[in-house]
Structures are given as structure tokens and as C-alpha cells.
Amino acid sequence: MADRNDLDFTYSLIDRIFRLSLGELADFSGAKYDGDFSLTLEQAQRRKHEYVAEQIGIEAGRTVLDLGCGWGPLLNYVRERGASGVGVTLSSAQAAACRRHGLDVRIEDARKVTRREFGGFDAVASLGAFEHFVSPTDYYAGRQEQIYRDLFANIRGLLPEGGRLYLQTMSFGRNMIPFEQVSIDAPRDSDAWYLALMMYQFPGSWLPNGGEQIAAAAAPHFRLVSDVSGRLDYIETIKQWRERFAQPSWRKTLVKAQLVPRYLTSRDFRLAFTSGVSANSVCFERELMDHHRMVFEALPAA
């Protein structure tokens, strides 16, 4: 699993730049354009929230758990709908930002959340976090499937029979290359180089091998209701993010200036944040990666 240090590297370091670029309470996962790229980023993120609400039932009086809640966009939407939300993240900066906005967010490992600690929920959502639940070390040690199976068993324990889970995640795609070829020393612009860059941006994280692997791990506890690809919408989301991040502001310049020592001393930092290319976007375009919007329904308890 990506641990707290990994996630602080990915999310806490860019916390202020993220919020200055995208806004407080902004989403950091693929939006839902449904191919209509005339929508603004905010409209497409709103459309995603509405879709999640429709799929898992977010409405007044209901309780919702957000596993890997980021800067709290879905929790904020849950609150607007009159429902009650709890979030978990492993990024301390995200938790602090959420709490400043009155959201109930705890620093906990989403994989370990149980009914004993958190109580039950009417619905569970997890957007853009599943990607972090298995590390390369877990993968090479053969633990990937077991981690996913344990996670689904835990989530099932939080829900009533028929309760729903919305899971949004990237996966390796149909053109994925053999893992041993992935290397930052591969020729620039090759598949192997872009995939290696992804691993610098998201250290400690390893993707699922397509929707089938996820559905199989969930099968003892959940019926798969739907699995829709958000790959093309994600490419547009990244394009919009990059435009926002590139918009100049003196505050962002100040924050970036504070990161200069890190830039000078850390190759990992330079590769993760200043490569000048969007590895994510290219991996989606080349179908080295895919993207899933999955809805599950809890089966009767075994």
C-alpha cells in the first residue's frame, strides 16, 4: 500500500498549489463529461457527484462513507444534499483542509475501516483511492488479490444487504506492457518510460489489472451492477487541470519558491512534478491504463 509518506509526497506537498489552482474542496479524480467537452471542469465534476448520488442513494438523512476523500468534494456534496458524510484520508494536509471546512474527516487507512470503529453506513464511495491500496512490493509478493478481497469484506461489513458502493479507479489497460520493461531509463516517450514516470508521481502505488480483477475480488460480497469506462473523460479532466495549474498567481509562485530546495536535491521530486509531460494522460491515450466507474450492491451476508 502507498503509506503516509508516499501519500504526503503526492498530495500534501502540492496541497496549497492544488487548492490555489482548483479551489478549496475541489475534486482530484476524473470528472464526468460523458463526451461533452463543452462542459466546464466544475460542471463535469458536479455531474459526477450527481451520478454517484443517483447510483448509491445520497439523499437527506442517509449516511455515506468516503474512502480516500481527498480535499472533501464529495463530502461537501453529501452535506449539500442533507445527508451525513464521514471521510478518511492518509494525507494530513487534506484532512486539515477538510476540517477547516467543517467536514468529518479522519486520518485512517481506508483498507482497515471496520464497523466496530466507524459504525454502519447506508452507502460507501471511493474515488481515485483504490489505485493506492496495493504497492509494487505487495504486487511482487503476490498480495494484491488478498488485499482487494479483504477490502471488499470490510466494506461489506459496513453496509446493509442491498447497500451500494461506488468505486472509481484507474487500472492497467489492454495495451499494458510486461511489468519488467517499465523503467525510467527506457527511451523518453516510450510506453515503458511513461509508466515509470507514473510510478514516480504515485510512489507506493500499483494498479488493478482491469475491472475483471476488481469484480472477482468483490464477488463473494458484492454483485457488480455496472462498470463504465471514464478513460476519455479523464483525458479531458487532466487537460483542464493542467490549464488551471498553469494559470499564474503570485501565491502559487511563493509556494513554488519554497519547493526549490526540494527540486534541487531530489530527483524523485523532479521526476514526479516537473517532467513537463502528463504521464497519466499519455497512458490513457495509449490504453496502457483504463478507468472504471463501478457500482456494486451488497449481497446477503454469508
Ligand X SMILES: C[S@@+](CC[C@H](N)C(=O)[O-])C[C@H]1O[C@@H](n2cnc3c(N)ncnc32)[C@H](O)[C@@H]1O
Q: Which of residues 80-99 bind ligand X (CB under 6 A)?
A: 88-91, 94
Contact at 8 Å (CB) between 64 and 78?
yes
Number of residues that bind ligand X (CB under 6 A): 24
By CB atoms closer than 10 A (0-12, 13-18, 19+), residue 101 is: middle
Residue type, 203: P
Among 69, 124, 198, 295, binds ligand X (CB under 6 A): 69
Give the DSSP letter string of 207-240.
Answer: --SSHHHHHHHHTTTEEEEEEEE-HHHHHHHHHH
Instruction: CB nearer to ligand X: give 27 or 290.
Output: 27
* Residue nearer to ligand X on the CB measure, 32 or 132: 132
The span of 1-9, 31-39, 221-229, 274-282 binding ligand X (CB under 6 A) equals 1-9
* Residue 233 binds ligand X, judged by CB under 6 A: no
Q: Is residue 2 part of the contact set for ligand X (CB under 6 A)?
A: yes
Alpha helices in the chain (DSSP H): 4-7, 15-22, 41-56, 73-80, 92-100, 115-118, 136-140, 144-158, 191-201, 211-218, 231-246, 250-258, 260-265, 267-273, 279-285
The CA distance from 55 to 47, in Å, is: 12
Contact call for residue 28 and ligand X (CB under 6 A): yes
Among 56, 75, 128, 165, binds ligand X (CB under 6 A): 128
CB of 245 to ligand X, least distance (A): 15
C-alpha to C-alpha distance for 272 and 267, rounded to whole angstroms: 8
Beta strands 123-127; 164-172: pairing state: parallel
CB of 94 to ligand X, least distance (A): 5
Query: In this structure, are residues 59 and 53 in contact, taking their beta carbons and an 8 Å threshold?
Result: yes
Closest to 127 measured CA to CA, from 225, 36, 230, 43: 230
Look-up: residue for cell 476540517?
99
Choice between 111 and 221, CB closer to ligand X: 111
Closest approach, Cβ 190 to ligand X, in A, equals: 25
Contact 39, 33 (CB under 8 A): yes
- Sign, Cα dihedral of 278, 14, 139, 114: negative
Give the x/- contact pattern for ligand X in 130-169, rule: CB under 6 A: --xx------------------------------------
**Cβ proximity to ligand X, 65 vs 182, nearer residue:** 65
Taking the least distance from each CB to ligand X, the nearer of 15 and 122 is 15
Comparison of 64 and 192: residue with beta carbon closer to ligand X: 64
Nearer to ligand X, 78 or 90 (CB): 90
**Distance between CA 32 and CA 45 in Å, rounded?**
6
Chain residue whose CB lies nearest ligand X:
70
**CB 108 to ligand X: min, Å:** 6
**Binding region for ligand X (CB under 6 A) out of 22-30, 175-183, 191-199, 288-296:** 22-30
Q: Which of 9, 18, 70, 231 binds ligand X (CB under 6 A)?
A: 70
Closer residue to ligand X, CB minimum distance, 110 or 192: 110
Instruction: Check residue 77 for interaction with ligand X (CB under 6 A).
Output: no
**Which positions touch ligand X (CB under 6 A)?**
1-2, 7, 11, 27-29, 68-70, 73, 88-91, 94, 109-111, 127-129, 132-133
